Amino acid sequence: MTETSQSIEIEQCRKIGAQALRDLPDLIDDSKLTEWFFQFFYDGQACCFRCGAELSERSRRSFLDGRVGSCRACGKQNRFFGGTILAGIKTNATSFLLVAALLSVGVSSRDIANGTNLPLSTVRMWQKKLNPETAP
């Protein structure tokens, strides 16, 4: 190994964690993420938030694509994150998930904001939503 390639390797080691933290939300496969959320929030069942009826296949597809899944039984228009803690969150769900993961292992909201380039106010708002007892 030459001195130059060794210094390149050291530089890469120094940068990879910070770069990964910033870029991870863009590297996540959206369809896998949707499936993950679908399993986590709905246990794989697309049901109406109001009456509990199972959505038709067409409504289910629409629901999973992030559009409205209308209920034939009661007419409610169900949105994918409508019945979850992510309802009303304006930033993308991937960033929220990353913040939730980092908070779960004790990373401070300030360190998360610095590492992800998300506003500290956003990270603290999500922290308050996820874990009101520990939020500043």
- In the complex, which residues of this chain contact Zn ion (CB under 5 A)? 48, 50-51, 53, 71, 73-74, 76
Nearer to Zn ion, 36 or 81 (CB): 81
Residue type, position 125, single letter: M
Nearer to Zn ion, 59 or 127 (CB): 59
Residues 21, 75: Cα–Cα separation, whole Å = 42
Residue 65 CB, nearest approach to Zn ion (Å) = 19
Residue 51 CB, nearest approach to Zn ion (Å) = 3
Residue 63 CB, nearest approach to Zn ion (Å) = 12
How far apart, in Å, are the Cα atoms of 9 and each of 22, 55, 74, 84, 101? 20, 53, 60, 43, 28
- Which pair of structure tokens corresponds to residue 100? 């939730």
Nearer to Zn ion, 48 or 98 (CB): 48
Residue 33 CB, nearest approach to Zn ion (Å) = 26
Nearer to Zn ion, 46 or 118 (CB): 46
